[in-house]
Amino acid sequence: MNWESNVRKVVPYVPGEQPKAKDIIKLNTNENPYPPAPGVEALLKNYSTALLRKYPDPTCSSLVEAISEKYNVKPSQVFVGVGSDDVLAMAFLTFFNSGKKILFPDITYSFYDVWASLFKIPYEQIPLDDEFMIDPDDYAIPNGGVVIANPNAPTGVFEGLDGIRKILDANRDVVCIVDEAYVDFGAESALSLLDEYDNLLIIQTFSKSRSMAGLRIGFAIGSETMIKYLSDVKYSFNSYTMNSLTLELGAEAVRDDAYFKETCAKIVKTREQLKVKLKELGFEFPDSKTNFIFAKHATVHAEYIFTELKKRNIFVRYWNKPRINEYLRISVGTDEECDKLVTNLKEIIAGRENND
Amino acid sequence: MNWESNVRKVVPYVPGEQPKAKDIIKLNTNENPYPPAPGVEALLKNYSTALLRKYPDPTCSSLVEAISEKYNVKPSQVFVGVGSDDVLAMAFLTFFNSGKKILFPDITYSFYDVWASLFKIPYEQIPLDDEFMIDPDDYAIPNGGVVIANPNAPTGVFEGLDGIRKILDANRDVVCIVDEAYVDFGAESALSLLDEYDNLLIIQTFSKSRSMAGLRIGFAIGSETMIKYLSDVKYSFNSYTMNSLTLELGAEAVRDDAYFKETCAKIVKTREQLKVKLKELGFEFPDSKTNFIFAKHATVHAEYIFTELKKRNIFVRYWNKPRINEYLRISVGTDEECDKLVTNLKEIIAGRENND
């Protein structure tokens, strides 16, 4: 017997590439093309590094309070973590201990099954329909919890709150997580349902709409009881997950609501223009309410386009997986980046079609 | 049945207070009284916040490489996390899955039993002797893993490498973690044993000797195989635990080895002076090789001193727990802070003894 026999063996989630080269167009990880709010830069320049010798505020009060004000909930209803991945991992660990299968769609954020495997939580993947839509009735079966990304990734599809409500109604006895990583690009948050459903936990992130993927901030909003349980587990894992600097910079980003709305609106506008251009090039896609488009070309295979774009220093995301291997997930960049993308796509598709 | 019945219920670790008031002398959480290396400030001032819109390097290469150079190991032998607590939590989750009890001392870092409970790992606490020393032979029993803080906390006692070697020899079939959070204040690291023992995992932190508790950096060094398993679990939990800024600031702190050695030497000097003064006041303590002293007064009870010091805005740490409830853990501050501490202790003790 060797120590290796006691290792928890896992198949990790694989994030999109983070190429170090410059002069690339990076549309592969749904990053925001605009910088964080201007106040963040000012705050960073004036930060006294001497403060770093001390432990951070374990209650994360500055950031928690900024979020609670923005979303009009109590500070005791807010939990913050190291990106929404950290928050989701903690939530899986805290709430999914029934021994029953948890449910989530077959096509969704591909970290859900990784967390379930890591924590030995049984799970069942419920197929989306051919339009990549959820049927809420599919979730009215015995289960140990439900996780819905809304809007969904990588499809970009938004499930209206009526559907979410049906799922919550059918699952009063388990925690239902609504993962709203992409909600700020024109979708509707389930926050308005919080007062009605004590089984609802909403999770959001600063990585997309607040241009702070590099800073690692995510948060959950739920009932005070639910947040207390989540915090207890967090405090049993790591007393201080959020560093002092991050707490201040994150709070500043939340306070600048005007900048937040302005950049989100710019991305939505670019996305809508990109939809038109992609259609003209022969792409089809479910309607996206996110900062990406999940697109399939009528004649040219996704993997070929993916590879050709990469040769031209344009990175998009491709998965060689059942049901989605004909699709590319294209993040919405600046207008200029999207124009370059379209120009290159036009050449790639024309070249391929001429060869056929 | 309610969703609450499926919650993982835990008793969290309680960190030392982080009072927000100014003008206090904070000797309760073993923070470093000196600021981080000067290059950290310069780097922070010049950091472009626009970079924060992108995800960090998931491999943490800048920080990993700086650590690997400093400690003369391969980058593939280094794992970094959000403070050593994060690294320890991941290590417990990764390596302690045998179903057998893991072993650690009864008096040690009080997070070990919290992690064990969180992950449902059985454990046994092996009593230290009356001088707070480990008997390595106690660890030669069947077990699922061993965790030794060396130097130990809150006692400050250093176990020589001969003892560590005995524990490693008796436990070739399980992972033995040596938690060296305090090793830089005059103790000896088990790094020199790495080539001989593939069951050894060494964990250190930037929170103490590198004055960066607020930034949250810890690291593990072990065999490439062990680090690979640990990384796989981390990538199954959160792809990006370390933010972009932290990676750069941490790497800079490691590169300034002269500053690191200078501040550690200052703290050791202050500690040795404080030992003399505490003895004069009637305190006794095991010899400390850390940045704190675990002291008991001959006549005045620890809880009384703790409370009186707090009234005077001096914070030290006290636990009302069996075997250690007559002790105070006093972090080593600057010379000036320690002088004020001694002056106040003198008054408190004199006042109490006159009252008796």
Q: Mean pLDDT of successive 10-residue segments in chain A (356 residues)?
A: 90 84 92 98 95 96 98 98 98 97 97 97 98 98 98 98 98 98 98 97 98 98 97 96 98 98 98 98 98 98 97 96 96 98 97 74
Number of structural domains in chain B: 2
User: Smallest Cα–Cα separation from A291: which of A158, A113, A114?
Assistant: A158
Q: Cα–Cα distance between B170 and A221 in angstroms, integer?
A: 48
d(CA A190, CA B240): 27
Residue ending a domain, choose from B229, B255, B281: B255
CA–CA separation, A50 and B33 (whole Å): 9
For B12, the closest of A45, A236, A242 (CB atoms) is A236
The closest CB to that of A212, out of B52, B216, B233, belongs to B52
B120 and B170 both lie in a single domain: yes
Is A160 within a domain? yes
pLDDT digits (tens, 9 = 90+) for B45-94: 999 999 999 999 999 999 999 999 999 999 999 999 999 999 999 999 99
φ, ψ (nearest 5 deg) of residue B347 = -65, -45
The answer as to whether B338 is a domain residue is: yes
Statement to judge: residues B125 and B231 lie in one domain: yes
Last residue of one domain, picked from the residues A207, A225, A255: A255
- What interhelical angle do B61-71 and B244-255 show, nearest 10? 20
| Residue B97, pLDDT score | 97
Q: Are residues B72 and B208 in the same domain?
A: yes
Tokens 């320690």, located at residue: B338
- The residues with which A283 forms a beta bridge, in sequence order, are A297
Question: How close does chain B come to A101, measured CA to CA in Å?
Answer: 12
Same structural domain, B246 and B277: no
Query: Does some domain include residue A1?
Result: no
Residues in chain A: 356
**Looking at residue B292, which CATH number applies to its domain?**
3.90.1150.10
Q: Are residues A208 and A278 in the same domain?
A: no
Any domain includes A122: yes
Same structural domain for residues B262 and B244? Answer: no
Neighbours of A303 (CB within 10 A): 14
The secondary structure element, H or E, covering residue B329 is strand B328-331
A85 touches chain B (CB under 8 A): yes
| B242 and B138, same domain (yes or no) | yes
Residues A312 and A213 in one domain: no
* Residues of chain B found within 8 Å of residue A86, distances taken between Cβ atoms: 237-238, 241
Instruction: Examine the domain organization and report whether B313 and B248 are in the same domain.
Output: no
Residues A151 and A228 in one domain: yes
Of the candidates A141, A142, A160, A163, the residue with the CA atom closest to the CA atom of residue A151: A160
CA distance A116 to A105: 13
Please check whether residues A111 and A173 belong to one and the same domain: yes
Question: What is the residue range of B183's domain?
Answer: 46-255
B151 touches chain A (CB under 8 A): no
Task: Please indicate whether, in this complex, the C-beta atoms of A145 and B9 are within 8 angstroms of each other.
Answer: no
Of B234, B255, B276, the residue that ends a domain is B255
- Residue B80 Cα distances to A239, A347, B62, B84, angstroms: 17, 43, 11, 8
| CATH code (residue A202) | 3.40.640.10
- Which chain A residue has the Cα nearest residue B89? A237
Tell me: the pLDDT tens digits for A141-187?
999 999 999 999 999 999 999 999 999 999 999 999 999 999 999 99
Specify the pTM: 0.97
> Does a structural domain hold residue A246?
yes
CB-CB under 8 Å, A94 with B7? yes
**Beta-strand runs (E) in chain A:** 25-26, 78-81, 102-105, 123-126, 145-149, 176-179, 200-205, 218-221, 283-284, 292-297, 314-315, 317-318, 328-331
ipTM over 0.85: yes
Report yes or no on B6 lying in a domain: no
- Same structural domain, B329 and B351: yes
CA A156 to chain centre: 11
